[in-house]
A and B are shown apart, each in its own frame.
Chain A
Amino acid sequence: MSVLLGTVVVVTVLGLVLALVLYLVAQRFKVEEDPRIDEVEKAMPGANCGGCGFAGCRAFAESAVKAPNLDSHFCPVGGNETMGKVAAILGYQLKEKAPMVAVVRCNGSCEARPRVNEYDGYASCYVKSLLYTGDTACSYGCLGCGDCVEACQFGALSMDPATGLPVVDEAKCTACGACVKACPKHVIELRPKGPRGMRVFVSCLNKDKGPVARKACANACIGCGICERTCTHAAIKVDSNVAYIDPALCKLCRECEALCPTGAIHGVNFPKPLDKEGVKERIKARTAKKEVKDE
C-alpha cells in the first residue's frame, strides 16, 4: 500500500514541478500575437486554396492584419461576404469587388476542330504542350487532357466528353484562379460574372490569320473585325487576328454575337435566346439612319 501511495505522491509532485517549469518558460518566451489573426482566420473559408495569392488562410490573415488597408487582400472564394467580415474585424473600409468566374475561351469542340494526329503520351496538358502543339491544327486552343479539372479544388470543372472541352459549373466556381495557372495554353480567364450572370466573351484565342484559323477550327475567331466595327461601346479590340471583349466596357447588347460569322462570340445566361435577324435589322436601320445624317 505504501509503495502505491509513494508512487502517486512522487508522480504528482514531479508533475506539479514540471508544470511550473513549463509555465515559467512559456511566460519567459511568450510570443505576442495579434488576437485578430485568429479571428480573421476563423472568418475565412478555410479552403487553403491559395487563390488570394498567399500560402493559405492563415498566411492571408497574418498579412491582412499587418496591412494598412485591404486593397491588396481579397479572398476570391469567400467574396465580398467574407471580406466584409474581415474588414469589420480589422476596422477597415471594404471596397467591394465584382464577383468573378472562370471562363473557358476555347470552343474547339471535337466536331469543329478535327484531330490531325493522335496523342498517346502521358495525359497531362502541360506534358503535351512541351512536346508539341497538340492533336489539332490549332496551336492556341484547349489541349483537352484536363489539367484544369485536376487543379480545381471545388469540383467546379469537368471535361465534357462530347466536346472534349472543360465545362465550368458556375455555382461551384469560386474564381480562385487555380485553373488559370494550371492551363499551359492560358485558355481559362477570370471574368466578372456580370449582372445575373449575363456576359459576352470571345471563345477563341487563335492568333493565326483567318484562313489558317478557320481551317483548323470551324468555331475560330478569324479576326475579321466586324464585331470591333459594330460595337457602339468600343468594348472590342482585335489584336493579332483575335478579338477580345473588355468586360468593363461591354453593355451586353449582343450585337457582336449576332454578327460573328463563325460563332466565336458567346453570350451566356441571357433569359431569352438571341434573335439574330432582329439584331441585324436593328443594326441595318441604325447605319442607314447614320448615312442619312452624314449626307
Chain B
Amino acid sequence: MGGVHPHDMKISRDCALEQLPVSPTVYLGVAQHIGAPSVPCVAVGDKVKVGQVIAQPGGAVGAFIHSSVSGTVKSIASRPDLAGRCTTHIEIAVEGDEWLEGIDTSDTLLTTIPEDPKAIVEKIRLGGVVGLGGATFPTHVKLSPPPGSKCERIIINGCECEPYLTSDFRVLLEKSEQVVVGAALLQKAMGGVPCTIAIEENKPEAIDSIREAVSKLGYAQIEVMEMKMMYPQGGEKQLIDAVMHRQVGSGALPISVGAVVQNVGTALAVYEAVQKNKPLIDNSVTVTGAGLPRQANLLVRVGTPLQDILDYMGGIPEGTAKIISGGPMMGRAVANLQAATVKGTGALLLLSEEQTRRAPETSCIRCGKCADACPMGLEPFLLNKLSKTKDWEACEANAAQDCIECGCCLYSCPAHIPLLDNIRVGKGFVLSAIRARAATKK
C-alpha cells in the first residue's frame, strides 16, 4: 500500500568504501541512541585507546560508547549536536592510533557461530551496537523480546530505499561475507529462526554478491529476497508486510507479529562486535551531492566533526544551500558543521539552492494523492487540517501517531502543502497525550 517512486539518484554507487583519515579531535556525544543518555566513565586527562569504553549505559535501554580513537580526553562538556541541541560530548585529542588489546583488526573471516545465544547478545551489548538504519535503537534490547512474544523471522534490511544513499549497498557488495555471518549471528541469537536478507531490485550486484556469500558459507535458513523498488520499502513495518505479509498494529512493535528487523550496517557491526571484539566505533557514510567534485562512501570514525569530512571531500562547493544528515526524504538539515557524527549518521547530502527550493503553497484540490501515497494508510490531508486546528483528539482518532514521517505525502502533493510539517506537530501532541495517559494509569 502507498509509497512513491522518487528518482534513485545513487550517483555514489560506484565509489568503493574508503577509510577517512582520523580527525585531530573527535567529539563523542553521550546521547547517540534512543533511550537514556550514557554516563561518561572517563575523566579529563585520561589516556584512552581505540575501543575503550568511555561511557556506560544510563538505563535499561542504553548503550556503551567506546572511544573511536586513541588519545587524551580533553574535556567533557556540553556541545551542540547535529540539530543544535546542547548535549554532553567527550572531546578526545587524537594521538596515534593504538587499539585496545583483544580487538582483531585483521581481515580474516571468522565464520564459526558461538553456541550460546545469550553470549552473542551480551557481546552485542558490550560492543555498544545500535540500529544503524536510522533509529539507533540499542540492538541488544531488540534481541531480547519481552516474555510472551516469540521471534519467528529475522529480516536483514538492505533495501536502502532513500534516494542518493549507497553506504548499505557498498557494505553489501564489499563485505558480503561479513554481513552474512552477522545475519547468522543474529539468527542464532534469536534461537535459530529463519532469516531473510531483503535487498531492493535496483542493486543486482549486491543481490548476486550476497547470494554467492550465502551459498558459500552454507548457513541454514538464510534466504535472499529481491524487493520491489519503492519508497519506503525499507520502513520497518513496510518491510515486514512485504516479506512476511503481516501487518504490525498501531502502537505495536514488530515483535508482536514475530519479526525482528535489523539493518545491514547493524549486521556488520554485530559481526565485528561478536567475532572480532571490535565495538561500534565506525560506520559507513555516503557523502554525495551533484555539486561535489567527487562522490564517496567513507568509513568514518564515530565523533568526527562534519567539517573534517567535508574538508576531506574538497570543501563545500559553491551554491550549496543545505547539508542533510541522512537521505533527502527523511534526513534532517544540519544546523552546524562543528557537530560530530554519531553512530547513526549514514549519509551527508549536499543540496543546491535549486534542489531545496520550496514551491509556494497553494490550496488543497482534494486530489487524494497524499492518501494514495501514504504507506501507513493515513489521510494526510485530513491530519494536516486537524493539526492546524489543534484538534489533538481528532488527530489521535485518525491515527496521527502512526505516521512514520517518510515524507511521501509531501512528495506527492501537487499543491506543495507542508503536510508532514503539520502532521508532525499533531503526532507530537498525540504521543505526549498517550504517554501522559499511560503514566496516570500506572
> Which A residues have a C-beta under 8 Å from some C-beta of B?
116-117, 120-122, 124, 126-127, 130-135, 137, 139, 208-209, 212
Contact = CB atoms under 8 A, between A and B. Distances in A.
Interface of A is mostly: loop
Contacts of A137: 80, 84
Contacts of A126: 425
A76 B85 CA distance: 36
B411 to A, nearest CB: 15
B424 A132 contact: no
Interface of B: 78, 80, 83-86, 321, 332-333, 335-336, 356, 358, 418, 421-422, 424-425, 428
A92 to B, nearest CB: 32
Nearest to A181: B390
A139 B86 contact: yes
Contact of B332 (A120, A127, A132, A139): A132
B297 to A, nearest CB: 26
Contacts of A209: 78
B345 to A, nearest CB: 15
A71 B336 CA distance: 50
A134 B78 contact: no
A90 B333 CA distance: 58
B358 A120 contact: yes
Given A116-B336, A117-B336, A212-B78, A133 B425 contact: no
Given A121-B358, A122-B421, A132-B85, 6 more contacts: A120-B356, A122-B422, A127-B421, A132-B83, A135-B335, A137-B84
Given A122-B418, A139-B85, A208-B86, A132 B335 contact: yes
Given A133-B80, A208-B78, A124 B85 contact: no
A125 to B, nearest CB: 10
B421 A124 contact: yes
A137 B80 CA distance: 9
Contacts of A117: 84, 335-336
B428 A130 contact: yes
Contacts of A120: 321, 356, 358
B421 A133 contact: no
Contacts of B86: 139, 208, 212
Contacts of B358: 120-121
A208 B418 CA distance: 33
B84 A139 contact: yes
A251 to B, nearest CB: 35
B332 A131 contact: yes
A126 B422 CA distance: 9
A127 B356 contact: no
23 contacts: A116-B336, A117-B336, A120-B321, A121-B358, A121-B421, A124-B421, A124-B425, A126-B425, A127-B418, A127-B425, A130-B424, A130-B425, A130-B428, A131-B83, A131-B333, A132-B84, A132-B332, A133-B335, A134-B84, A137-B80, A139-B84, A139-B86, A209-B78
A88 B418 CA distance: 50
B83 A133 contact: yes
A235 to B, nearest CB: 29
Nearest to B358: A120
A134 B83 CA distance: 9
Nearest to B361: A122
Nearest to A116: B336
Nearest to A126: B425
Contact of B422 (A127, A132, A208): A127
Contacts of B422: 122, 127
A135 B421 CA distance: 17
B223 to A, nearest CB: 39
A135 B335 CA distance: 8
B422 to A, nearest CB: 7
Contacts of A208: 78, 86
A127 B85 contact: no
Q: Which 10 A-B pairs have the closest CB atoms?
A: A133-B84, A132-B83, A122-B421, A122-B418, A127-B421, A132-B335, A132-B84, A126-B425, A117-B335, A133-B85
A165 to B, nearest CB: 19
Nearest to A130: B424
A117 to B, nearest CB: 5
Contacts of B418: 121-122, 127
Contacts of A212: 78, 86
Interface centre among B84, B332, B358, B428 (most CB of A within 10 A): B84
B394 to A, nearest CB: 15
A135 B80 CA distance: 13
Contacts of A116: 335-336
Contacts of B424: 127, 130
Nearest to B353: A120
A122 B422 CA distance: 9
Contacts of B78: 208-209, 212
A127 B333 CA distance: 14
A126 B423 CA distance: 11
Among B332, B335, B422, B424, residue most surrounded by chain A Cβ atoms (within 10 Å) = B335
A131 B407 CA distance: 14
A131 B80 CA distance: 14
A123 to B, nearest CB: 9
A134 B336 CA distance: 11
A102 B197 CA distance: 58
A113 to B, nearest CB: 13
A219 to B, nearest CB: 19
A121 B422 CA distance: 11
Contacts of B428: 130
A79 to B, nearest CB: 26
A126 B80 CA distance: 20
A254 B368 CA distance: 60
A120 B356 CA distance: 9
A206 to B, nearest CB: 10
A116 B337 CA distance: 10
A124 B333 CA distance: 17
B191 to A, nearest CB: 39
A130 B85 CA distance: 11
A292 to B, nearest CB: 43
A212 B321 CA distance: 27
B84 to A, nearest CB: 4
